[in-house]
């Protein structure tokens, strides 16, 4: 990659892969946790993630590129870590560990969407800027829900 446009496209493919992988992993995390509130949050985010995948397809359209993912090692690692928590934890550690692992995924997504949004702005792609801002806001809200659950219930 040598241009911001190339970096934008590459990172867009990375996050598209990530969102699809996350949408496959969230049901397992939801089934594993015991807290009804955490299950509800994970299930809600799954539906949001499906919508984000559709929104990303619109972003691809703004740059005339077919929606496709490129393997994202970071997401694969974070999801593997989540699987490890699910497999190795019990009791209160299970819900707290899954919640923390999900927040790590959210933080990665927030970082990626923040960069993509700003690059879209610099590249003069207003439509992508607006679409990516919407997703970024959703990711920040999901992270806030997880933080509030951790502080008010799960970590006690």
pLDDT category, 149, cuts 50, 70, 90?
very high
Outline where 63-90 has alpha helix (H): 73-88
Give phi and psi for 147, each to the nearest 5. -60, -45
Angle separating helix axes 126-149 and 36-62, nearest 10 degrees? 170
Instruction: Give the mean pLDDT of the chain.
Output: 97
C-alpha atoms less than 13 angstroms from C-alpha of 35 in its C-beta half-sphere: 24
Identify the pLDDT of residue 102. Answer: 97
- Over the stretch 98-141, which tens digit does the pLDDT of each residue have? 999 999 999 999 999 999 999 999 999 999 999 999 999 999 99
Q: Which domains does the chain have, with CATH numbers?
A: 4-154 (1.20.1260.10)
Identify the pLDDT of residue 156. Answer: 86
User: What's the average model confidence in pLDDT over 62-78?
Assistant: 97
User: What's the average model confidence in pLDDT over 76-96?
Assistant: 96
């Amino acid at each position: 990659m040598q241009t911001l446009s190339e970096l934008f496209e590459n990172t867009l493919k990375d996050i598209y892969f990530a969102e699809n992988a996350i949408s496959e992993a969230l049901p397992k995390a939801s089934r594993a946790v015991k807290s009804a509130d955490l299950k509800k949050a994970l299930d809600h985010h799954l539906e949001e993630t499906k919508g984000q995948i559709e929104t990303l397809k619109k972003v691809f359209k703004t740059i005339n590129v077919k929606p496709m993912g490129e393997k994202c090692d970071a997401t694969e690692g974070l999801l593997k870590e989540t699987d490890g928590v699910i497999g190795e934890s019990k009791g209160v550690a299970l819900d707290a560990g899954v919640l923390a692992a999900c927040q790590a995924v959210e933080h990665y997504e927030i970082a990626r969407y923040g960069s993509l949004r700003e690059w879209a702005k610099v590249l003069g792609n207003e439509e992508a800027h607006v679409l990516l801002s919407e997703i970024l806001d959703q990711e920040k809200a999901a992270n806030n829900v997880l933080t509030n659950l951790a502080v008010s219930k799960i970590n006690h």
